[in-house]
Amino acid sequence: MKSSRVKATWKRGEIALGTLVKSIDPVHTEALSQMDFDFLWYDLEHSDKSVETFANLARASRIGDVDVLARPGRWEYMRMGRLLEAGALGILYPRCESADEAREVVKWSKFHPQGERGFDGGSADNNYGHYPADNYTRSANENTWITIQIESPAAIDQVSEIASVDGVDAVFFGSGDFSALSGRPGDVQGPQTFAAAQTIAEQTIAAGKVFGTPVFDRDHAERIKDMGAQLLTLGADIVLYKQAHSDLLDAYGDFRK
Q: Residue 157's domain is classified under what CATH number?
A: 3.20.20.60
The 8-class DSSP code of residue 34 comes to T
> In this structure, is the dihedral angle defined by the CA atoms of residues 234, 141, 51 and 150, taken in order, positive or negative?
negative
pLDDT at 1: 76
How does residue 253 score in pLDDT terms, banded at 50, 70 and 90?
confident
What is the pTM (predicted TM-score) of this model?
Answer: 0.95
Q: 214 pLDDT exceeds 80?
A: yes
Helices (H), 145-217: 159-163, 175-181, 191-206
How does residue 48 score in pLDDT terms, banded at 50, 70 and 90?
confident
Pairing verdict, β 67-71 and 210-215: unpaired
Encode pLDDT of 126-145 as tens digits: 989 999 999 999 999 999 99
pLDDT at 45: 95
Q: How many domains does the chain have?
A: 1
Tell me the CA distances in angstroms from 123 to 25, 137, 171, one per residue in order: 22, 12, 28
What's the domain range around 161? Answer: 5-256
